[in-house]
Amino acid sequence: MNTPATTLEKRAYKIGTARVGLWLFFLSDAFVFAALLVSRFYLLGDKRPHLEQGLGLIVTSVLLISSFFMNRAEVQISQGNRKAFVTSTLITMLLGIVFLVGVVGFEWGLAPFGPADGVEGAMFYMMTGMHAFHVLTGVVFLFIILRNGIKGRYSPEKHWAVEAAANYWHFVDLIWIFFYPALYLIGTV
């Protein structure tokens, strides 16, 4: 027979295992992004792609602001404030979509090269494409936790999925903190 203490122990074990799995995923994914970053400097050296600096700063700002709202969503659900959780998660999703539109919709269209136009194009589209894919995945993840949050499936004691989504979102933002200077700031045009 499962006693409440046994049930809590099982739940704590599952969450602990899930945390380890999530951090192992981050570690493996960090190797992929690190390889892209190293490839950028190896292949392009001190040259950087000719990109719209203002647009790069705007999309970076949007992504960093989204991290604030994702953190706010996690804190609010841990305090039992479902309405603020929903609002903050929605804002995070919208900012993620604005980032995607800025990079994929505008920056890709404004770039003076295509993905097949040499190393510069290949690196730019691979780095931004891989990152955009992760942002899109994050937006989908946020949609799932938003839907579950609206249905009341999270509480201050039980919100591991929100914590995982927040960690994933912050990880993706952290990657962009390295990609932004590598693509937009470091080197000469």
**Amino acid at the residue 47:** K
pLDDT at residue 3 is higher than 80: no
Q: What are the Cα distances from residue 162, in Å, to 11, 77, 89, 158, 187?
A: 16, 8, 10, 9, 39
Cα–Cα distance between 49 and 70 in angstroms, integer? 31
pLDDT at residue 107 is higher than 60: yes
Two tokens at 15?
């969450």
Cα–Cα–Cα angle for 28, 134, 102, nearest 5°?
A: 145
The crossing angle, in degrees rounded to 10, of helices 4-44 and 118-150 is 160
**Domain 4-185, CATH:** 1.20.120.80
The tens digit of pLDDT for each residue in 4-54 reads: 667 778 888 888 898 999 999 999 999 999 999 999 999 999 999 999 999
The crossing angle, in degrees rounded to 10, of helices 160-180 and 53-78 is 160
Answer yes or no: are the C-beta atoms of 67 and 170 closer than 8 Å: yes
- Annotated domain spans of the chain: 4-185
What is this structure's pTM?
0.92
Cα–Cα distance between 185 and 188 in angstroms, integer? 8
Two tokens at 161?
């999925």
